[in-house]
Amino acid sequence: MSKRVLIVGAGVMGLCSAHYLSRRGCAVTVIDREDAGFENCSFGNAGLICPSHILPLAAPGMVGAALRMMFNPASSFYIRPRFDRELFDWMLKFRRAATEQHVARCAPLLRDLNMASRGCYEELANLPGADFGLMRKGLLMLCKTELGLAHEAAHAERARSLGLAAEVLDSRRIADLEPRIRIEVAGGVLYPADCHLCPGNLMRWLRKQLHEAGVALLWKTNLTGWRLRDGTIEAARTSAGDLTADEFVLCGGSWSAAAVKEIGLTLPMQPGKGYSLTLESPPQLPTLSMILTEARVAVTPMESNLRFAGTMEIVGFDRTINPVRVRGIVQSVPAYLPDFGEANFAAATPWCGLRPCSPDGLPYIGRTRKLRNLCVAAGHAMMGLSLGPITGTLISQIVCGEPTSIDIALLDPDRYAKN
């Protein structure tokens, strides 16, 4: 008998989990608080699949950087000062996690997760009708300064020690790789295993696939609570009534912590707002995805469009567009790409999304001991799209009672459980 699975959240985690569960014969329903036309955090991101990103957000130096940038609303990493007990608790946990020992534990796992997810994307791209623009051309880290290049070269050495390909380049070699676009930098690093895609196309294709597979997608259905019995969930209480299932999977992004607070599950989380602007007629179009390292801005070609994405803004559940943040992205670009000016961005509509950030920079993936039939897949921060398929694969393995293909002990959703 196939299991009935209810998934809360229709972002990339929810849809990927639904995809792999339905392929295993489960009867899947996905609910989402928004309507079908809402473009959640999975739509407007940079579209990067990045095995090179082996450092968690909580890494040495990030605490100091956050404090230095706290009073600069145009900075790439901004925490709005406010009295909020949950924010203080998150920042304390972030500080404790930002150690070299934490990075050493996390880096091999993040490598394995990202490489496995890259393989999943290649399999998905071979399915009929899959047209989400998967490009296996690598990621180019552009460094404006010699100091930035030295820092990125050290990261490249760490990546190579973990078996990842990384090549440190001078400005002449970068010009050879991207002859169609003028770049002014000290140098950079190429990570050939990285890929990029069009996230909006991916999300629309996943929805179509799920509909054809018989997965029920219930929009404008808000989770309001849970009906519990003997250490299990009997039903999810929703605005559409109680929905029963054998297994429940929480993929609620930044709202995941609030969704399980009443049942005593502790998932420290802060929404990190990111922005993007997409140029439909860019003056130049690169072939590789790039990151402007000192500015922390990603540049991704998406068919004939060019997307610029960046910033991490910890401001709570505020989805308003802050023009200061947008201006910070726009003004950082010409230093690296001198043929781009503010006028090129005049017609671009700014987008923002809330990325779910755990304090240790690792997602929550797995079954919670609090309730026997509840799994969590949330807290992926800036790696959501990159890790979507492998997260869905792992969730499907757990729900179906199989050993996971990757050891995910570090991702335990109960790791911050209160004693």
**pLDDT higher than 80, residue 59:** no
If pLDDT is split at 50, 70 and 90, which confidence band does 371 have?
very high
Query: What does the pLDDT look like over 6-35, one tens digit per residue?
Result: 999 999 999 999 999 999 999 999 999 999
- Looking at the chain, the domain(s) classified CATH 3.30.9.10 span 48-195+270-357
Ranked by mean pLDDT, the top range of 37-51, 138-152, 306-320 is 138-152
pLDDT given at position 1: 55
- Rounded to whole angstroms, the Cα distance separating 100 from 60 reads 6
**pLDDT higher than 70, residue 263:** yes
Query: What token pair was written down for 163?
Result: 């078996």
Burial-class residue 12 by CB neighbours within 10 Å (0-12, 13-18, 19+): buried
| Cβ contact 334:375 at 8 Å | no
- Rounded to whole angstroms, the Cα distance separating 231 from 241 reads 21
- Rounded to whole angstroms, the Cα distance separating 356 from 68 reads 22
**pLDDT higher than 90, residue 37:** no
12-23 vs 199-212: helix crossing angle, rounded to 10:
40
Task: Read off the DSSP letter of residue 336.
Answer: T
pTM here? 0.95
pLDDT given at position 56: 83
> Could you please report the per-residue DSSP string of 242-280?
EEE-SEEEE--GGGHHHHTGGGT-----EEEEEEEEEES
pLDDT given at position 80: 72
pLDDT given at position 242: 97
Q: Name the maximum alpha-carbon separation found in the chain.
A: 66
**pLDDT higher than 90, residue 194:** yes
Query: What token pair was written down for 240?
Result: 């559409």
Task: Read off the DSSP letter of residue 403.
Answer: P
Q: Report helix, strand or coil for 301.
A: strand
Return the minimum-mean-pLDDT range out of 51-60, 66-75, 259-268: 66-75
| Cβ contact 311:296 at 8 Å | yes
* Of the options 3.30.9.10, 3.30.360.10, 3.40.30.10, 3.80.30.20, the CATH number for the domain spanning 48-195+270-357: 3.30.9.10
pLDDT given at position 38: 85
Return phi, psi of residue 114, to 5°: -70, -40
Query: What does the pLDDT look like over 331-365, one tens digit per residue?
Result: 999 999 999 999 999 999 999 999 999 999 999 99
Lateral strand order in the sheet of 364-367: 216-218, 27-31, 4-8, 247-250, 374-378, 364-367
pLDDT given at position 76: 66
The arithmetic mean of pLDDT across residues 396-412, rounded, is 97
- Rounded to whole angstroms, the Cα distance separating 75 from 168 reads 27
Return phi, psi of residue 364, to 5°: -100, 115
**pLDDT higher than 70, residue 73:** no
pLDDT given at position 64: 60
- Rounded to whole angstroms, the Cα distance separating 26 from 22 reads 5
pLDDT given at position 62: 63
| Cβ contact 233:226 at 8 Å | yes
> Could you please report the per-residue DSSP string of 176-233?
HH-TTS----SEEEEETT-EE--HHHHHHHHHHHHHHTT-EEE-S--EEEEEEETTEE
Fold assignment, 4-42+202-268+360-411: FAD/NAD(P)-binding domain (3.50.50)
If pLDDT is split at 50, 70 and 90, which confidence band does 192 have?
very high
**pLDDT higher than 80, residue 135:** yes
